[in-house]
């Protein structure tokens, strides 16, 4: 099986790959999400793999298959923040779907189906929801394997294939399959590259972060935002290994738990838009003024930019006041974490955004009744009401009325108010719809009734009153 | 001018409309090898894709049954309907994925290089190298062939190129048009006729 001499099967692609012009890593994403799907990832902590490839140290670089694969895992570990791949060895044998182990094995088939002759190795990944739960790496036992550095030979270097397959296990996909030209171990074909490239590392760190806490983890260490001459900024960062401070508010009404902070001083008055598009997790965003984390004044906050299509990146807009310090917190919904992108845009010369002075109020209505939601916004020239995230056709005034409410109207209502400077969303108002009251019930019975039951308390009471009346009348 | 428009249209539509086909470590065969390893080469439309729980030797897994409506047979005598039996799929919250296994959606049209035996891990030859999506240009109605990464194919000989390498045809002639489905199938037929059955890999 191994170390046999077979015809040359791998293409040497040295010199092919162009210099890196841009990051181009790609991810295996949650296909349930039709909006902006996020990478499928392991929960923070460790993922244990059991290596069952063989312990005989007779390979070209002096390793065994087991230790060669272990070294590949360690190469990834040095670059990962909130996840580590832990390794153990076991005797050679098949992978089992019946256990919960993540196994690395030589195999001739998967679930009884033979390897395609062109396929060197595959990674099978189980996921539940948006989390990875288990993975096996199967190496085609019909191929000839070795372990070595440098240009490819007729035998396949198990270590670089393991680096590649572990990248799939972590959640990385093929940049070249996404139409990108970049030097990466994650490209779909084996090359003379025998270690992780910058693109591979950056890609993995965008899911699991780099080692250590972010420098802007705490409020007092908020990173300063400096805008470009066109008053924009695109900032990168991570909230992996970040924490939530005592007294810190919930951002966008979610407890979160891994917040990082930025600070910006408005040089002039004008509308500001901040969004987290391009981040690799379900974000929340809050903007505040104040001087201490436990006594902040909320200016704006947001969880999801859009409910339909579902965009889990957050976005806020607000009117900045000249000279004011604004603190921007980025957290993960339910403490989700990964790499983030913060896009900042300021318009010191344009008109100000509308200002909502009166928010729509939640209501409870009985079926068949009517309800109105209203907003008051100074400077607004347009309104668009939404129901559960989707626009309501024709609902473009400051008040939205539903004249005959049905159960289907129950849900969340918001209004987007806009003018030439941009738009902002109101708070959410919830409509609760109650069923109409049940028809009047028959008078309650407490005993009596037909069938020889005992006389009721009321019967005895009435009888006593009657007796008392007769007694009084008879005395007269 | 037209060629540039076709290229840009193909690139844009290909990248925006096609599901990406993640891959594993696979050698890309050349066109003759692709043909020789195939029992059937067909142009087909996906009629249905149904995921189901399965069991093999006491191990439970998710598989997907993809039923194809054949529009054109280029090689072999495929059964009708032609069914691809894939490992992996999603049922509710649970998903099993083999990285590199192409994903099929109802209505997708492809040129497919198919193994006849059902015992193969993937009934397509060389995973992502055995599927060539067809994309129709909205303005001209012409059907173009893409590689699995959504980039246009310029010649049948390009199937063995690394995914990120520019076609030699395109390098020599920057105004070259992407290959139409009809032209791709003609080139495959030409190769089928040239390669003697005795030399075919099976």
Residues A295 and A361 in one domain: no
Tell me whether residue A188 is in a domain. Answer: yes
Residues A364 and A288 in one domain: no
Contact between residue B81 and residue B66 where contact means Cβ atoms under 8 Å apart: no
Nearest to B22 among A28, A117, A187 (CB): A28
Cβ contacts of A471 within 8 Å, gap of 6 or more? none
Q: pLDDT band for position B121 (50/70/90)?
A: confident
Q: How far is CA A439 from CA A383, A436, A442, A445, in A?
A: 41, 9, 9, 17
Share of chain B above pLDDT 90, in %: 37
CATH number at residue B177: 2.40.50.120
Residues A324 and A226 in one domain: yes
Classify A231 in phi/psi space as left (phi over 0), alpha (psi -120 to 50) or beta.
left
- The residue segments making up the domain with residue A243 are 219-346
Q: pLDDT band for position B161 (50/70/90)?
A: confident
Nearest to B22 among A110, A165, A177 (CB): A177
Tell me whether residue A322 is in a domain. Answer: yes
Among A208, A230, A247, give the residue marking a domain's end.
A208
A243/A256 Cα distance (integer angstroms):
9
CATH number at residue A304: 2.60.120.380
pLDDT tens digits, one per residue of A348-363: 987 889 999 999 999 9
| Interchain proximity A123–B128, CB inside 8 Å | no
Residues A93 and A113 in one domain: yes
What does the pLDDT read at residue B124? Answer: 87
- The residue segments making up the domain with residue B85 are 2-199
Number of domains in chain A: 3
What does the pLDDT read at residue A7? Answer: 29
* 41-70 of B, contacting A, C-beta below 8 A: 54, 56-61, 63
Residues A119 and A76 in one domain: yes
Cβ contacts of B18 within 8 Å, gap of 6 or more? B133, B135, B146, B150
pLDDT tens digits, one per residue of A195-224: 999 999 999 999 999 999 999 999 999 999
Sign of CA dihedral A425, A426, A427, A428: negative
Residues A197 and A233 in one domain: no
Residues A241 and A387 in one domain: no
The pair of structure tokens assigned to A226 is 């400096």
**Where is pLDDT greater, at A145 or B168?**
A145
DSSP secondary structure string, A31-45? TT-SSSPPBPBPPSE
* 122-151 of B, contacting A, C-beta below 8 A: 122, 125-129, 148-151
Residues A61 and A164 in one domain: yes
Average pLDDT, chain A: 86
B41/B24 Cα distance (integer angstroms):
23
Summarize the confidence of residues A49-66 as an average pLDDT. Answer: 96
For residue A12, is pLDDT > 80? no
Residues A190 and A268 in one domain: no
Tell me whether residue A39 is in a domain. Answer: no
What does the pLDDT read at residue A32? Answer: 52
Summarize the confidence of residues A252-277 as an average pLDDT. Answer: 96
Contacts of B20 in chain A (CB under 8 A): 26, 173, 177-178
Backbone angles phi, psi at A113, to 5 degrees: -105, 130
Tell me whether residue A449 is in a domain. Answer: no
Residues A194 and A62 in one domain: yes
pLDDT tens digits, one per residue of B174-198: 888 889 999 999 999 998 888 755 4
Cβ contacts of A110 within 8 Å, gap of 6 or more? A122, A124, A138, B87, B98, B121
| Interchain proximity B164–A120, CB inside 8 Å | no
Q: What is the pTM of this model?
A: 0.73
Among A208, A228, A259, give the residue marking a domain's end.
A208
Nearest to B25 among A13, A124, A190 (CB): A190
| Interchain proximity A119–B24, CB inside 8 Å | yes
CATH number at residue A376: 2.60.40.10
Q: pLDDT band for position B11 (50/70/90)?
A: very low
**Residue A28 distance to chain B (closest CA, Å):** 7
Number of domains in chain B: 1
Tell me whether residue A2 is in a domain. Answer: no
Nearest to B57 among A32, A112, A116 (CB): A112
For residue A240, is pLDDT > 50? yes
């Amino acid at each position: 099986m191994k170390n046999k001499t077979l015809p040359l099967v791998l293409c040497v692609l040295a010199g092919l790959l162009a210099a890196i012009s841009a990051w181009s890593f790609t991810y295996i994403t949650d296909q349930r999400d039709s909006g902006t799907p996020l990478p499928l990832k392991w929960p923070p902590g460790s993922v244990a793999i059991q290596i069952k490839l063989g312990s005989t140290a007779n390979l070209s670089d002096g390793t065994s298959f087991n230790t060669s694969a272990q070294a590949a895992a360690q190469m990834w570990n040095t670059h990962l923040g909130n996840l580590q791949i832990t390794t153990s060895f076991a005797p050679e044998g098949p992978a089992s779907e019946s256990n919960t182990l993540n196994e690395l094995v030589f195999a001739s088939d998967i679930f009884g189906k033979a390897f395609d002759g062109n396929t060197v190795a595959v990674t099978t990944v189980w996921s539940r929801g948006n989390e990875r739960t288990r993975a096996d790496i199967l190496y085609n036992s019909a191929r000839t394997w070795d372990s070595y550095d440098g240009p490819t030979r007729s035998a396949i270097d198990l270590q670089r294939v393991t680096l590649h397959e572990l990248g799939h296990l972590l959640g990385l996909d093929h940049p070249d399959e996404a139409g990108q030209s970049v030097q990466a171990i994650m490209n779909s074909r084996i090359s003379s590259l025998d270690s992780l490239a910058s693109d591979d590392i950056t890609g993995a760190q965008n899911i699991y972060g780099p080692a250590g806490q972010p420098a802007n983890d705490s409020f007092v260490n908020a990173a300063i935002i400096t805008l470009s001459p066109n008053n924009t900024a695109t900032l990168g960062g991570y909230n992996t290994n970040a924490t939530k401070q005592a007294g810190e508010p919930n951002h966008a009404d979610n407890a979160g738990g891994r917040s990082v902070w930025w600070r910006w001083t408005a040089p002039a008055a004008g509308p500001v838009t901040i969004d987290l598009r391009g981040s690799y997790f379900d974000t929340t965003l809050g903007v505040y003024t104040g001087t201490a984390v436990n006594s902040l004044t909320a200016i704006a906050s947001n969880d999801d930019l859009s409910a339909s299509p579902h965009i889990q990146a957050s976005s806020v807009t607000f009117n900045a006041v000249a000279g004011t310090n604004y603190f921007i917190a980025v957290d993960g919904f339910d403490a989700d974490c990964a790499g983030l992108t913060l896009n900042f845009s300021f318009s010191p010369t344009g008109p100000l955004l509308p200002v909502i002075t009166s928010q729509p109020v939640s209501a409870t209505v009985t079926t068949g009744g009517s309800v109105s939601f209203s907003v008051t916004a100074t400077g607004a020239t347009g309104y668009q009401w939404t129901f559960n995230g989707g626009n309501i056709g024709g609902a473009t005034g400051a008040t939205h009325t539903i004249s005959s409410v049905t159960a289907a109207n129950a849900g969340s209502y918001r209004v987007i108010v806009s003018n030439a400077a941009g738009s902002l969303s109101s708070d959410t108002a919830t409509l609760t719809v109650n069923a109409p009251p049940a028809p009047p019930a028959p008078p309650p019975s407490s005993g009596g009734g037909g069938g020889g039951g005992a006389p009721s308390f009321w019967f005895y009471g009435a009888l006593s009153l009657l007796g008392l009346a007769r007694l009084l009348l008879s005395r007269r | 001018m037209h060629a540039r428009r076709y290229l840009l249209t193909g690139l844009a539509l290909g990248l925006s409309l096609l599901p990406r086909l993640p891959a594993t470590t696979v050698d890309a065969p050349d066109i003759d090898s692709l043909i020789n390893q195939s029992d059937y080469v067909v142009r087909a439309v996906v009629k249905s894709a149904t995921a189901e729980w399965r069991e093999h030797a006491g191990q439970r897994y998710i598989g997907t049954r993809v039923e194809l409506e054949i529009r054109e047979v280029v090689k072999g005598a495929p059964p009708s309907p032609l069914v691809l039996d894939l490992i992996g799929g999603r049922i509710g919250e649970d998903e099993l994925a083999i990285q590199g296994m192409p994903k099929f959606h109802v209505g997708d049209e492809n040129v497919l290089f198919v193994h006849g035996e059902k015992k193969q891990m993937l009934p397509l030859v060389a995973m992502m190298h055995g599927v060539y999506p067809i994309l129709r240009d909205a303005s001209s109605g012409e059907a173009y062939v893409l590689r699995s990464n959504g980039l246009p194919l310029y010649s049948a000989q390009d199937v063995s190129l690394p995914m990120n390498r520019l076609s030699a045809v395109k390098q020599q002639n920057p105004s070259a048009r992407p290959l139409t489905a009809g032209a791709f199938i003609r080139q495959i037929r030409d190769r089928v006729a040239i390669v003697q059955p005795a030399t075919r890999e099976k």
